[in-house]
């Protein structure tokens, strides 16, 4: 989606669990031939960070998912670490995934309100996988809703 185009997508893995891989798969996509792919990651995630948010604003958050996953938006306070990363979470919002067939593409979508005090967010695409298990993510959306009254129209 244009709202996520050009965003840097990072990955993280908990080293206490089995290490897998995070890649761009150029052979599988929902409507095209590419998607983000996590393979065999014991505990980890892709993250897309957004800054310059204002409390009270609303955002649409969505993705297409094939495989087992947990999607969240983590709101960040203006405190930054020496490395320039947000280092204190205010709270988070769960992004529900429709359907139960993990072998099929499923849609995850919600609308969230930026909490007071938040200046940034991380769109977290989390996985807890068995060895060799794959999860694909496509059609990522993090888009400001200009008129909250138009949601669903």
* CA-wise closest residue to 92 among 129, 118, 69: 118
pTM, 2 dp: 0.85
Cα distance between residue 25 and residue 64, in whole Å = 14
Structural tokens at position 81:
């670490």
pLDDT range class, residue 2, cuts 50, 70, 90? very low
3-state secondary structure 36-66: EEEECCCCEEEEEEEECCCCCCEEEEEEEEE
What's the pLDDT tens digit per position in 131-147?
999 999 999 999 999 86
Quick one: DSSP state of residue 8?
Answer: P
pLDDT range class, residue 88, cuts 50, 70, 90? low
What's the pLDDT tens digit per position in 102-131?
999 999 999 999 998 888 899 999 999 999
């Amino acid at each position: 989606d244009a709202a996520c185009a050009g965003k840097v997508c990072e990955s993280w893995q908990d080293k206490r669990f089995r290490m897998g891989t995070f890649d761009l798969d150029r052979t599988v996509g929902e409507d095209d031939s590419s998607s983000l792919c996590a393979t065999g990651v014991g505990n980890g995630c892709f993250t897309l960070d957004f800054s310059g948010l204002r409390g009270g604003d609303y955002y649409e958050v969505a993705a297409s998912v094939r495989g087992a996953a947990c999607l969240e938006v983590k709101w960040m306070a203006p405190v930054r670490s020496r490395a320039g990363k947000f280092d204190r979470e205010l709270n988070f919002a769960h992004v529900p995934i429709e359907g139960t067939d993990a072998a099929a593409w499923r849609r995850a979508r919600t609308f969230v309100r930026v909490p007071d005090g938040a200046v940034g967010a991380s769109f977290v695409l989390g996985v807890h996988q068995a060895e060799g298990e794959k999860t694909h993510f496509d059609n990522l959306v993090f888009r400001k809703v200009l008129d909250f009254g138009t949601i669903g129209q």
